Amino acid sequence: MSISIVIADDHVLMRQGLIQVLSAEKDINVIGQCGDGIELIKQVLKLSPDVVIMDISMPRMSGLVAIDKLLAQRPQSRILVLSMHDELEYVEAMRDAGAIGYVLKETSSEELIDAIKLVAEGKSVFPAQKKNKILWLFKLSTSIL
């Protein structure tokens, strides 16, 4: 079974790199790409991908607004956020908006591919390193008290 993907990121080089990495996978097919949230919604509604990979910071419509509008029109969309933001408030905001995965741009291509496959199955993917960082910050703040 092939997993169809639409990629939304405002950096052309990032999109091209993702397409190159994902095209090497025989069970992943990139069917669309765009650079902003408005175009993302149009492409997802037209192409009906299995997984949407999207950035948070995009022109014309942010990722957070795009998720809300997209899920209102196509609630079955499985969204994997790919972001440079590792702050807890971004992760929680995107999860609360309906993303079922969140991967940092610093992750390896193998980890990204694994995350895509899990999201395609409807499983949540929120990286362990994020949880560890949050736990570390909690431990640090409680040890000061």
Instruction: Please check the confidence at residue 61 and state whether its pLDDT lies above 60.
Output: yes
Instruction: Please check the confidence at residue 132 and state whether its pLDDT lies above 60.
Output: no
CATH topology of domain 3-144: Rossmann fold (3.40.50)
Position 135 confidence tier, pLDDT thresholds 50, 70, 90: very low
Q: Is the pTM of this model over 0.75?
A: yes
Calculate ∠ Cα 105-111-114, nearest 5°: 125
Instruction: Please check the confidence at residue 141 and state whether its pLDDT lies above 60.
Output: no
- The overall average pLDDT reported for the chain is 88
Give me 142's structure tokens: 């409680």
Tell me the one-letter amino acid at 21. Answer: V
Residue 32 and residue 43 in contact, taking contact as beta carbons nearer than 8 Å: yes
Q: How many CB atoms lie within 10 A of CB 77?
A: 21
Q: How far does Cα 137 stand from its chain's mean position?
A: 24
Q: What is the CA radius of gyration of the chain?
A: 15
Q: Read off the pLDDT of residues 72-105 as tens digits, 9 standing for 90 and up.
A: 999 999 999 999 988 888 888 999 999 999 999 9
